[in-house]
Amino acid sequence: MSKLNHDLVQYLKEFVVDERRELFEEKIEQRTKHITVVLENIFQGRNISASIRSADCFGVQDVHIIENDNIFNDDSEVSMGAEKWTSITRYNKEKHNSAETIKKLKAQGYQIIATTPHNTDCDLYDVDVSNQKIALFFGAEVLGCSEQTLALADKRMRIPMYGFTESFNISVSVSLCLQHLTYKMRNSPVNWRLTEDEKNKTLLQWLRNSIKSSAQIEEKFLEKLNQK
């Protein structure tokens, strides 16, 4: 599959202008899966869309959306098309989607860090990005991360605050955390970049979202491949 993705990417590059192809090749080198964002049961779609936009801006490829009660509908005026460049995984099939999400991410080697202003064991500036991959959980407006997520998390992290208000807006929290942690990550010795296979899968997504009739073009490519 990795060889097929590579060949397909090379083929589809012929259908985009040079400027777009060069932009993709530049941006893919700054993409990371070392840090990922998890949005748990967010009520306002605008907060999710703004968080996706921030993930894209900071080069974070994966965004996970847990829909226990609230269903996500993208607000394109807020996301500004960022959903085309990020890889979004939605969890809404199970009775306990949060637990299933945490189980999956831990199996992929992620440390689970739940953001909360209460009963924390570290703050944003304490987080070590140079070792294990990090999955940052952000909970619903008002209620925050679920009790289940807080119980299963490896760490409970707070964002330092010095005013009277208890917490930041969800999308602001995402931006603050990603700005600080991706800066630390990019200046650390950790290998945070995508693997070659991950690059090809991501480039394939970007190209598909950029080329009109990409499905038909792919179909013709695969037909030619099978005839060889």
Architecture per CATH, domain 32-195, reads as 3-Layer(aba) Sandwich (3.40)
Domains of the chain, by residue range, sit at 32-195
Q: Which pLDDT does position 77 carry in this prediction?
A: 52
Q: Which pLDDT does position 11 carry in this prediction?
A: 92
Q: Which pLDDT does position 80 carry in this prediction?
A: 55
Q: What are the per-10-residue average pLDDT scores of the chain (228 residues)?
A: 86 94 97 97 89 96 89 57 91 87 97 94 94 95 91 96 90 97 96 97 95 91 78
Q: In what order do the strands lie in the sheet with 122-123?
A: 87-91, 62-66, 35-40, 133-138, 110-115, 155-158, 122-123
User: CB within 8 A of 91, min separation 6: which ones?
Assistant: 64, 65, 66, 67, 97, 98, 100, 101
Q: Which pLDDT does position 43 carry in this prediction?
A: 85
Q: Which pLDDT does position 128 carry in this prediction?
A: 95
CA distances from 105 to 71, 113, 132 (A): 21, 11, 12
**Residue 139, both tokens:** 């909970």
Q: Which pLDDT does position 93 carry in this prediction?
A: 84
